[in-house]
A and B are shown apart, each in its own frame.
Chain A
Amino acid sequence: MAFLELDACTLSFGGLHAVRDVSLAVDSGELVGLIGPNGAGKTTVFNLITGIYAPDRGSITLGGARIDGLPPHRITQRGIARTFQGIRLFANMTAYENVVVGHSPRAGALLDAVLDTPRAADNRARIADECDRLLQLLDLAERRDDPARTLSYGAQRRLEIARALATGPKLLLLDEPAAGTTPHEKVELMARIRWLRDHFGLAILIIEHDMRMIMEMCDRITVLDHGEVIACGPPAAVRSDARVIEAYLGPEQPV
């Protein structure tokens, strides 16, 4: 059994299928791409995995245990973290504070903080170190004390990743992490994502529109169209799949 498994998940909004019978697997340490045309249901799959929606039918397991139907914060505590397509940073908090929030659920008891016990001081020091390290890894150390809203688009996307990593995930879901960044930033980001995967031993599921990039970096790719999985496999096989080509280019026209 794979680390994360979606088994025949269906979700509909008012009779309209957002995703239908979607099955998907991500193994530990694996980097899997999730692609498909606009409106194919990619982000909805992320929302299902992270508990923003519960599937109408089907199941989701993480490390063999069911997680569908759990509230989002429980799912994060079990080791799944995500970034958002339309960046949702804590805009008025600094880059550093954004990362600290990722540590909040594991930062000891509130009473310790209020009484300022030695344990609270230890926690504070440990978390400060870890957060600074994460900021460094994502090249944000210089912007540490700037409010998140003042960062550039690329830096905001990186901060979302740093913040997600602070929750201590085993599986990271990246929703178009390179959208709106420069080509140069994009190449750098992809290298960084692979490095993070190796460094933290993460499984990663990534949504991205740049085909060349996703073909290059992913171990496996799942293709969605109209809410259904139309192909799944290693990049080379997916690239030459007739249904995938049709989904992206439209049905073949008679010459």
Chain B
Amino acid sequence: MIRRNLPLLAVLLALWPLGLGLERVLNGYYLQIAVLIGINIILAASLNLINGVTGQFSLGHAGFLAVGAYVSAFTSLALGLTSSVLLPLPLLVGGTAAALAGLAVGVPTLRLRGDYLAIATLGFGEIIRVIILNTNAVGGARGLGGIPTLAGFGAVFACAVLCVVALWRLVYSPRGSAFFAIREDEVAAAAMGIDTTRHKILAFTIGAFWAGVAGGLLAHFIGYLHTNSFTFLRSVEIVVMVVLGGLGSLTGCILAAAILTILPEALRFGAEYRMVIYALLLIAIMLTRPSGLMGGREILPWRSWSSTPAR
């Protein structure tokens, strides 16, 4: 098993010096955009599991992002962490808390269908935000500051790589084909022996976990949190990445996450018309490519269970 995962470990280890190097070379502005791309990749890839692969429409991803961000920040502050070697600890705590929130949201709501599910998850996202806003232990309306900035380029992209690889292996394994089947036809999936409820909850929980990790990274990169960054507009932004990438396509949503993070910055020349151009571009892209950039396909031609497996 270790031998099979050696290339992955090598990539993860290589990111460390690469991150340190980039942090020296790049100016802060570009570095920040790069880091935000990494965080958005995690968010888009994890929402893709729920919305794209399993076909459940969640509009509450920002809620899980918020849970992860606040819980991991609180963990670091409470433990007084100062070393970035210990960063995985708050990230895991934040991810687990978000996963539990995902479980708590998923179990009651997943019997709702389509748009009812969408609006219920949106509701949960907003409820989570308002609860945080009223919790003084994490700063409430003032926001939470002084979080040790332990996360940088290396940590963010190590997490992004881990997330994408884990999700890829998950959904393109024979076992994970169940997630796609549920999207295509729930009745037929159950007739194949698939416990559809369990898989939907699983998708929700795993997706929420990674959103929580992304939240932890955000907290430890910016060093300050406010509930205004976790409104439903943030959820909408992540949904747009997934739809634009092509529902179900992991590589597509990575691409879309990168494009949609860079686009507003690249449009700075437009001054106050910047977001107008952004909106027009979004509409134009959807009108010309209604199935998203990748139309549900992957950039890489093979899927580990759809063609002869690499042995």
* Pairwise interchain contact A124-B187, C-beta atoms closer than 8 A: no
Q: B228 within 8 Å of A by Cβ?
A: no
Q: B188 within 8 Å of A by Cβ?
A: yes
* Pairwise interchain contact B5-A116, C-beta atoms closer than 8 A: yes
Q: B170 within 8 Å of A by Cβ?
A: yes
- Alpha-carbon gap, A113 to B175, bound state (A): 8
Q: Among A73, A88, A116, A128, which residue has its beta carbon within 8 angstroms of that of B193?
A: A73
* Pairwise interchain contact A116-B4, C-beta atoms closer than 8 A: yes
Q: B143 within 8 Å of A by Cβ?
A: no
Q: Among B181, B304, B307, B308, which residue has its beta carbon within 8 angstroms of that of A104?
A: B181
* Pairwise interchain contact B185-A124, C-beta atoms closer than 8 A: no
- Alpha-carbon gap, A102 to B191, bound state (A): 9
Q: A77 within 8 Å of B by Cβ?
A: yes
Contacting residues, chain B, for A120 (C-beta < 8 A): 173
* Pairwise interchain contact B174-A92, C-beta atoms closer than 8 A: no
Interface, chain B (partner A; CB < 8 A): 1, 4-5, 166, 169-170, 173-178, 180-181, 184-185, 187-196, 202, 296, 304-309, 311
Q: Among B174, B180, B196, B311, which residue has its beta carbon within 8 angstroms of that of A73?
A: B196
* Pairwise interchain contact A76-B190, C-beta atoms closer than 8 A: yes
Contacting residues, chain B, for A52 (C-beta < 8 A): 187
23 chain-A/chain-B pairs, Cβ below 8 angstroms: A71-B190, A73-B193, A76-B191, A77-B193, A84-B191, A90-B184, A93-B184, A94-B306, A97-B180, A100-B177, A101-B181, A102-B193, A104-B176, A104-B177, A104-B178, A104-B192, A104-B194, A110-B175, A113-B174, A124-B174, A125-B309, A127-B174, A167-B192
Contacting residues, chain B, for A128 (C-beta < 8 A): 305, 308-309
Q: Is the interface of B mostly helix, strand, loop or mixed?
A: loop
Would you give the shortest CB distance from A163 to chain B, in whole angstroms? Answer: 7
* Pairwise interchain contact A90-B181, C-beta atoms closer than 8 A: yes
Q: A64 within 8 Å of B by Cβ?
A: no
Question: Chain A residue with minimal CB distance to B296?
Answer: A92
* Pairwise interchain contact B4-A105, C-beta atoms closer than 8 A: no
Q: A198 within 8 Å of B by Cβ?
A: no
Contacting residues, chain B, for A91 (C-beta < 8 A): 184-185
Most chain B Cβ neighbours within 10 Å, of A89, A102, A105, A124: A124
Q: Among B1, B180, B195, which residue has its beta carbon within 8 angstroms of that of A117?
A: B1
Q: A108 within 8 Å of B by Cβ?
A: yes
Interface residue ranges of A70-95 to B (CB < 8 Å): 71-73, 76-77, 81-82, 84, 88-94
- Alpha-carbon gap, A84 to B177, bound state (A): 20
Contacting residues, chain B, for A14 (C-beta < 8 A): none
Q: A241 within 8 Å of B by Cβ?
A: no
6 closest A-B pairs by CB: A113-B173, A76-B193, A90-B184, A107-B174, A107-B175, A88-B188
Contacting residues, chain A, for B173 (C-beta < 8 A): 107, 110, 113, 120, 124
- Alpha-carbon gap, A121 to B173, bound state (A): 10
Q: A109 within 8 Å of B by Cβ?
A: yes
Question: Chain A residue with minimal CB distance to B306?
Answer: A97
Question: Chain A residue with minimal CB distance to B8?
Answer: A116
* Pairwise interchain contact A97-B311, C-beta atoms closer than 8 A: no
Q: Would A90 and B307 be within 8 Å (CB), given that A76-B193, A127-B174 are in contact?
A: no
Question: Chain B residue with minimal CB distance to A123?
Answer: B174
Would you give the shortest CB distance from A130 to chain B, in whole angstroms? Answer: 10
Q: Would A101 and B189 be within 8 Å (CB), given that A93-B180, A110-B175, A116-B4 are in contact?
A: yes
- Alpha-carbon gap, A101 to B180, bound state (A): 9
* Pairwise interchain contact A104-B190, C-beta atoms closer than 8 A: no
Contacting residues, chain A, for B184 (C-beta < 8 A): 89-93
Q: Would A124 and B304 be within 8 Å (CB), given that A73-B194, A103-B174 are in contact?
A: yes
